[in-house]
Structure 1
């Protein structure tokens, strides 16, 4: 894993996001990452630190991290919390532990950037994904509706330690 660097392809990253979120789209959940443009990807990457996982030269995973997270007004998360988004694993690499490694990296980066909490959100309808986060110490703290999705999100929070 390494930071997304100048010269890396935003188009390739966008294709990975589309593939990784295609199951959600097939289930009728319109995650932005399932259909965003390369320009949307570049904008979202520009709001934090983007990390990529490679197998050889192939992009197989990613996550973008920020701390503190600049949440919209009314978003139910503590001030100063970090966040991450666009956590994605190529479908061929699911079940390998890559998602867990990207999650740990995101949490480590949030701490390194100075936050002791991380707030994220995902579709409240994606029970398997919500459960995955809850099994890793995330606790639901509220709901949110983005104007770019077709579902209500559950907002999850986890306390982090520097250790």
Structure 2
């Protein structure tokens, strides 16, 4: 399946011919600002092997234009959550939503978010649970403006911060086709 963002950037599934190394470098660049601010997002330092593992746990989608990797998100079907995690189980999820820093503000992040929600619904999820650093107030606000509600906090053992856990119910046309909202902070 191939899709396109409003800006015309093609989005497709990560495939056998794609470079895990290149994807890892994109994640490092996309999360570098957070690391520089002292928030050690796993994506800011994960190894190629870590990227491979995370790819094996969901559907990875990439935005590619002119052979250049511009963005990514990995989506999972409804699954159990860790014991104590403050989200309803099972729930769909996505992770490592990332946009090449030079592409921020063009709507790519919003398009990848809409894709993640649409794919979550297609995979059988009625809700999505995600988390991000509670210190990343810009990101928490970006998700809140797109209908996500904070429902608790969580601490992963691979980060140096508490995460805000956010929930969104996937209902109606938005869940079915991924429409809605305007572009902002995430791209």
Contact 1:144–1:154 (Cα < 8 Å) also in 2: yes
**Aligned counterpart, 1:67:** 77
Residues 129-148 of structure 1: pairs in structure 2 closer than 5 A: 129-148=139-158
Q: TM-score, normalised by structure 1?
A: 0.98
Residues 2-151 of structure 1: pairs in structure 2 closer than 5 A: 2-151=12-161
Distance 2:131 2:58 in 1: 16
Q: Counterpart of 1:82 in 2: which secondary structure?
A: strand
Q: Counterpart of 2:23 in 1: which secondary structure?
A: helix
Deviation string 1:19-74 (CA, Å, 9 cap, x unpaired) is: 00000000000000000000000101110000000111100000000011332111
Q: Counterpart of 1:114 in 2: which secondary structure?
A: coil
Distance 2:136 2:68 in 1: 28
Provide runs of 4+ in structure 1 moved above 4 Å: none
Distance 2:163 2:37 in 1: 15
Q: Counterpart of 1:102 in 2: which secondary structure?
A: helix
Distance 1:129 1:93 in 2: 16
**Aligned counterpart, 2:177:** none
The unaligned stretches of length 5 or more in structure 1 are none
The unaligned stretches of length 5 or more in structure 2 are 1-10, 174-187
> How many aligned positions are there?
163
Contact 1:111–1:162 (Cα < 8 Å) also in 2: no
Distance 1:70 1:46 in 2: 16
